[in-house]
Amino acid sequence: MRAEDRQSTLAAWLAAEGRIDVITAADRLGVAPETIRRDLRVMERSGLLRRVHGGAVTADADPIAALGRPATVDPADLDWVAAVWALLPRTGTVLLGTGEPTLTLAKLIVTEPDDLTDLTIVTNSLDAALVLSRAPGLSVYNLGGTVSTRTRAQEGDWALTELRRLHTDVSVICPAGLHPDHGLTQQTPAAAAVSEAEVEAGTTVVALIAPESLGTTALVRFAPLESVDVLAVAGIAPDRALRPYREAGIKIITPGPRTEQGAAEPNPGAIVGA
């Protein structure tokens, strides 16, 4: 299939579904994931979409534009994001790293009916901060720093200086890769430096990761596997992909009404940390 035909197909899927997942699209088209990533880069330069971790969304899927609209979570994400939010405390301090899963989490948090005046969230994500600013009573701190043109994460010396001053009850990070032997990785040195500082800031570390990133390794390692207390999976993952992390003694949170530990509905008052 020619590149033009692939990109036309991707544009049609994006219009119909609102998001393109690299791995799924590669499987559907019978090409390598890197071919899809290359197509998405071309399409982004033409203004047809916006690339995010793991794929792409429509060009108008912008948190700034979305401020005038009610926060919504894709029904396909509700199970896993509700399980993650149930894990987190309603008082104290939480640090959210940058990534599509944490942005989805932010969208759910702003729909929370309970009082959040005793909760503070710190983030280096411009997108997440904009969304969270709509939550009544919630204290939101944005780190500052050099803004990544791809992810709109705040990075660099400024962000690192602020992070090294922080101590949070829970740090929720979004690694680009998580591997039993190679640990946690990011795509760039700048992103890895920020993620390393986020890990160091948290009493409890939650790795929030897309299922397709389990068992993969990105360019820069920033933390060993043993630094993770809880692995939260943003979607359905096969048991074989989870087994190495379970054997390492990491608590695993997956979508649905039960956790790996067999607890019933996640308890909004319980976590980790604080």
3 state SS of 252: strand
CATH number of domain containing 28: 1.10.10.10
Over residues 60-100, the pLDDT tens digits come to 665 555 555 566 787 888 899 999 999 999 999 999 999 98
Q: Let me know if residue 271 belongs to a domain.
A: no
Count other C-beta atoms under 10 Å from residue 141's C-beta. 16
51 and 115 assigned to the same domain:
no
186 and 105 assigned to the same domain:
yes
44 and 18 assigned to the same domain:
yes
121 and 241 assigned to the same domain:
yes
Q: Which domain holds residue 141?
A: 75-253
172 and 119 assigned to the same domain:
yes
Sheet containing 19-21: which strands, arranged edge to edge? 19-21, 55-58, 49-52
Q: Let me know if residue 258 belongs to a domain.
A: no
**Bridge partners, residue 170, by sequence:** 94, 204
pLDDT of res. 120 = 98
Sheet containing 139-142: which strands, arranged edge to edge? 139-142, 119-123, 92-96, 168-173, 202-209, 230-233, 251-253
> Residue 49 carries which side chain, given as an amino acid letter?
L
212 and 84 assigned to the same domain:
yes
In sequence order, what are the residues at sequence separation of 6 or more whose Cβ sits closer than 8 angstroms to the Cβ of residue 111? 71, 73
Q: Let me know if residue 181 belongs to a domain.
A: yes
Taking the C-alpha atoms of residue 1 and residue 10, their distance in angstroms, rounded to an integer, is 12
**Bridge partners, residue 215, by sequence:** none
84 and 56 assigned to the same domain:
no
Taking the C-alpha atoms of residue 250 and residue 247, their distance in angstroms, rounded to an integer, is 7
Q: Let me know if residue 260 belongs to a domain.
A: no
> Residue 140 carries which side chain, given as an amino acid letter?
V
Q: Let me know if residue 261 belongs to a domain.
A: no
Whole-number Cα distances in Å, 176 to 59, 97, 163, 217, 221: 22, 12, 20, 8, 10
Handedness of CA 51, 83, 192, 92 (dihedral sign): positive
pLDDT of res. 31 = 94
108 and 233 assigned to the same domain:
yes
Count other C-beta atoms under 10 Å from residue 9's C-beta. 15
3 state SS of 114: coil
217 and 120 assigned to the same domain:
yes
CATH number of domain containing 149: 3.40.50.1360
Q: Let me know if residue 166 belongs to a domain.
A: yes
Averaged over successive runs of 10 residues, the pLDDT of the chain (274 residues) comes to 91 88 92 92 82 80 57 82 94 96 92 90 95 92 92 94 97 96 96 98 96 94 97 92 96 68 38 44
Q: Let me know if residue 243 belongs to a domain.
A: yes
The distance of Cα 138 from the centroid of its chain, to the nearest Å, equals 20
21 and 55 assigned to the same domain:
yes
Among 273, 271, 231, 272, smallest CA distance to 255 is for: 231
Task: Kindly compute the dihedral angle of the four CA atoms of residues 81, 84, 90, 95, in this order, to the nearest 10 degrees.
Answer: -100
108 and 241 assigned to the same domain:
yes
Q: For residues 20-33, b (16+ Cβ closer than 10 Å) or e, as one string?
A: bbbebbbeebeeee
90 and 211 assigned to the same domain:
yes
Residues in the chain: 274
Task: Kindly compute the dihedral angle of the four CA atoms of residues 229, 54, 111, 148, in this order, to the nearest 10 degrees.
Answer: 90
Q: Do β-strands 183-186 and 220-223 pair in parallel, antiparallel, or remain unpaired?
A: antiparallel
Number of domains in the chain: 2
Q: Let me know if residue 42 belongs to a domain.
A: yes
